[in-house]
Amino acid sequence: MSAYGSAYDGGVLRGDAPQPTVTELYHAHRLRMVRLAVLLVDDLATAEDVVQDAFTALYRRHGEQISEVDNALGYLRTAVVNTSRSVLRRRRTARAWTPPEAPDLPSAEEHVVLDEAHREVLAALGRLTPRRRQVLVLRYWADLSEAEIATTLGISRGAVKSNASRALDALERILEGRI
């Protein structure tokens, strides 16, 4: 005899007996549905979620009394299978996704060396004449063209070229320790 008396046997109604409630179905068939879902998704926690979602969907759609569903157990079984298939699709998609490769970050030592190099360059820039420093900063830091630098400083393009050339030579000598 099943949990519902002799009128209900595994989802098949005999005679005019009333349909079981969602709660009755849950208590009688939850473990069987979880076993089915475990075989499909290969994970107990996910299988339990799948079954819980199937029962919740049945309850939301039809309420506690599921008189509108001819075969409530078959309905649940189909819901468990379909939800399991959705879980597997999401898993496959998640496993196929590869995160973008992270750029190589400099080590702490490289960071210190770069900081020291930057400090040396800044110190060397400070030793240049104001005009030569302005030309180099506008050219290499502000990324301006020779014409834009000439307009900004109010000098000719030729003066920009000669100041840039002399400034780079002076920086090289300063950084090499010759000055």
pLDDT one-digit tens code per residue, 58-78: 888 888 877 766 788 888 999
**Is residue 105's pLDDT more than 90?**
no
Q: Round to whole Å and give the CA distance between 150 and 162.
A: 12
Cα–Cα distances (Å) from 153 to 68, 120, 143, 167, in that order, read: 85, 26, 14, 16
**Is residue 169's pLDDT more than 90?**
yes
Q: What is the pLDDT of residues 25-51, one digit of tens each?
A: 899 999 999 999 999 998 999 999 999
Residue type, 36: L
Q: What is the dihedral angle through the alpha carbons of 17, 23, 28, 32, rounded to the nearest 10 degrees?
A: 120
Better pLDDT: 106 or 84? 84
Strand partners, 21: 65
**Is residue 163's pLDDT more than 80?**
yes
Tokens 């898993």 sit on residue? 91
